[in-house]
Every structure is written in C-alpha cells, then in structure tokens.
Amino acid sequence: MQASKFAEAQKAFILKQVEEGTSVAEICRKAGIGQSTYFAWRKKYGGLLPDEMRRLKQLEDENARLKRNLADLTLDRQMVQGVVRREL
C-alpha cells in the first residue's frame, strides 16, 4: 500500500473545511485528491484530531505486525506437530 503524501494534520484540515461550509468538490480540487479519497478519509477519520489519527495509524500498524507474528507462530507450531507425529 502506498504511503499517503498528506500528514494527519492536513487530512484533519481538509475534513474540517467541509464542516465549515466549503463544498466537497472545491476542497478536493484544491487539495488535489479525488472525492472517493475524501469520503474514505471521512469514513476512517471523521471527528478525530490529528494526534488521535496518528495513534489510530500506530495501532493499525501494531495490529498488522501482531497478526503476522501469530501467523508465523501458528505455522511453526503446525510444522513441529507434524514432525512429532512422524516420530511416534
């Protein structure tokens, strides 16, 4: 997945502009993003402050890392069980 060129503060600022009355189309044009990107950000970050957005990203990254570790450990366990069964 490609990293965003927008910081959390920039995303929050873009989302806040619509709440202040600017149209979505105008904001997207000025920011150089598609409307689908805006709505994806709104769905994911709606109502969050930049520091909360940063923390959410950290938690998502940690969760992905832990899932990969669990998958590796599960595979290791299955391999060891297979070896033990063959020796019996």
pLDDT in tens, 30-79: 999 999 999 999 998 888 888 898 899 999 999 999 999 999 999 999 99
In terms of Cβ atoms closer than 10 Å to its own Cβ (0-12, 13-18, 19+), residue 23 is: exposed
Residues in the chain, total:
88
Residue 22 structure tokens: 């600017």
Encode pLDDT of 11-32 as tens digits. 989 999 988 889 999 999 999 9
What angle (nearest 5°) sits at the alpha carbon of residue 69, between those of residues 67 and 73? 115
- Between the two ends of the chain, the Cα-to-Cα distance in Å is 45
Q: Please tell me whether the overall predicted TM-score, pTM, comes out greater than 0.85 for this model.
A: no
